[in-house]
Structure 1
Amino acid sequence: MIARIAGEVVARRADHVIVETAGGVGYRVAVSASTLEHVPAVGGAVSLHTELIVREDSMALYGFATEEEQDLFTMLLGVQSVGPKMALAVLSGGSPRELVTALAAGDAARFQAVPGIGKRTAERIIVELREKVGVPADMVPALGDVTASRGDDPRLLARDGLLELGYDLVEADRLLAGAEPGLSAEALIGHALKQAARR
């Protein structure tokens, strides 16, 4: 695993940089627009946190200016339908702090503005990442108008939330089956989305 890379910037493009290390090897590193802002001009020295992703037909190195951005990248990859390129595109939409704020606010429009992300994927990103990034519970808004109409039953709230995400009633009930009793609506939705990802 290549966890960090440091060297001279020999090329700087909109979506990647090439960094030549002391050994004379040049590494192509894909970066977000946010990280690119921290990369100096050609000839400058740079140090980036990196993530190597190996697929059957390719190996790609992704670079990050901060550990916070790298952590968000890793979490985004855990969301169904989000690949490395889409994760970088999300990270290009703002600083890690701004993205965490968007998660806390349930700002689906912010994520839908990323090419390739529709409403369902945007909502899934919000639901799955809010807890992982440590958004305080008092910053989490209600899911649509569901809380006003479904008062105190977490399972009904969760089912309505899944319906808003595009699942039908039968599918929503099936995904909620087997969840531990006593979970909050948010936790139940998280459970359901994990079940969906396994199928």
Structure 2
Amino acid sequence: MIALLRGAVHERGQGSVVLLTPGGVGYVLNCSNTTLAALPAAGQDTTLLCHLAVREDALTLFGFGSEPERDLFHLLLTVQAVGPKLALAVLSSGGPDEVATSIASGDAKRLQQVPGVGKRTAERIVSELQDKLAGRSAVGTGTGSAARGVVTATPTDEARDGLLGLGLSPEEVETLLAVAHGDTAAAIIADALRRSRS
């Protein structure tokens, strides 16, 4: 699992950036407009949180400039019919606070303005996530991602995503997570993989 990448901004594209890591490897990360706008100039270092989407025919990296944005991305992925690209399109329609507030307030019409999001999908996003985001503090009234309207993923949640990304079945993942230990997602994954081989 690739949790984050640090490197120099090498090249910006439409909806993506190439990050050149110290080892000389360049990674293409798909990013929201919010993250792209906050990136430093070419040649300067930055750190992006990551999500690796695994398909049979492709491995796609998504990059996020903040925990709230990444956490909201993960929440959007729990909605039926919302994949990584559509979730990123939703995040590109505004900052994570603005998007979370729209969902919490039940503003499905605003979500329909996002390319690729129809009425049914917008209503599904609101119905499935409104309760998870409602009642959370607005920007400036607290600290941390929860205070900015986003549920922070636990190390176990991140480990679950990582194990699923490695190709394990949901049943295998839940069985391993029931016995694996660790303070971080990486530690939990490492322990789970050791147990899977035993």
TM-score, length-normalised on structure 2?
A: 0.66
Q: How many residue pairs get matched?
A: 136
1 CA distance for matches of 2:18 and 2:74? 22
Deviations 1:71-109 (A, max 9, x none): 111111111111111110000011111111111221111
SS in 2 for 1:37: helix
Aligned 1:174-185 pairs, distance under 5 A: none
User: Does the CA contact (< 8 Å) of 1:32 and 1:88 recur in 2?
Assistant: yes
Per the alignment, residue 59 of structure 1 pairs with 59
2 CA distance for matches of 1:113 and 1:77? 19
2 CA distance for matches of 1:5 and 1:130? 31
User: Does the CA contact (< 8 Å) of 1:8 and 1:19 recur in 2?
Assistant: yes
2 CA distance for matches of 1:16 and 1:54? 18
2 CA distance for matches of 1:105 and 1:75? 16
Aligned structure 1 segments of 4 or more residues deviating by more than 4 angstroms: none
Per the alignment, residue 31 of structure 1 pairs with 31
Per the alignment, residue 76 of structure 2 pairs with 76
Per the alignment, residue 18 of structure 1 pairs with 18
Displacement, 1:32? Answer: 0.5
Per the alignment, residue 178 of structure 2 pairs with none
Question: Among the aligned pairs, what percent are the same residue?
Answer: 52
Per the alignment, residue 152 of structure 1 pairs with none
Displacement, 1:56? Answer: 0.6
Highest Rg: 1 or 2?
1
RMSD: 1.2
User: Does the CA contact (< 8 Å) of 2:11 and 2:42 recur in 1?
Assistant: yes
Relative contact order higher in (CA < 8 Å, ≥ 6 apart): 2
Displacement, 1:60? Answer: 0.5
SS in 1 for 2:6: strand
Displacement, 1:130? Answer: 1.5
Per the alignment, residue 48 of structure 2 pairs with 48
